[in-house]
C-alpha cells in the first residue's frame, strides 16, 4: 500500500469505513518534528501494509478535520479502528512505537 493523502473529502471512505486499522500522521510542512516523523511514517507504511493503512493529513490544508479530532500539537498520530479513535500520541515517535500501537 502507499501512504494515503487524507483530506476532508476522502476521510469518510479512507478512515471511517476502512476494514483495517488506519494510522494518520497529523502534520504540517513548517513543523521540524513533523519532517523528522515523515521518513518513519514511510517505513511504517512498508512494514504494516498487510494489516493496516497509513495516511498523512496536513493540518494547514485540512483544519476542519484537525479541529474535529482535537489536534493542538503536531505531530500527532491517531489510530482509527472501526471508524473510532483507538489511540492518540502527540510528539515524535519511533517506528517501533508506532508498530506496537497498530498491533495493540
Catalytic residues, by residue number, are 31, 34
Q: How far apart are CA 3 and CA 42, in angstroms?
A: 7
Question: Are the C-beta atoms of residues 71 and 25 closer than 8 Å to each other?
Answer: no
Closest C-alpha among 103, 104, 100, 93 to residue 25: 93
Closest C-alpha among 85, 104, 96, 82 to residue 24: 85
DSSP 8-20: TTTHIIIIIT-SS
Q: How far apart are CA 28 and CA 89, in angstroms?
A: 16
Amino acid at each position: 500500500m502507499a501512504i494515503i493523502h487524507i483530506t476532508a473529502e476522502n476521510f469518510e471512505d479512507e478512515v471511517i469505513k476502512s476494514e483495517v486499522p488506519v494510522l494518520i500522521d497529523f502534520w504540517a510542512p513548517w513543523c521540524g518534528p513533523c519532517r523528522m516523523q515523515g521518513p518513519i511514517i514511510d517505513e511504517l507504511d512498508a512494514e504494516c501494509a498487510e494489516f493496516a493503512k497509513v495516511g498523512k493529513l496536513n493540518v494547514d490544508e485540512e483544519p476542519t478535520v484537525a479541529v474535529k479530532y482535537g489536534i493542538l500539537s503536531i505531530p500527532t498520530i491517531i489510530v482509527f479502528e472501526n471508524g473510532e479513535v483507538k489511540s492518540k500520541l502527540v510528539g515524535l515517535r519511533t517506528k517501533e512505537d508506532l508498530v506496537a500501537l497498530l498491533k495493540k
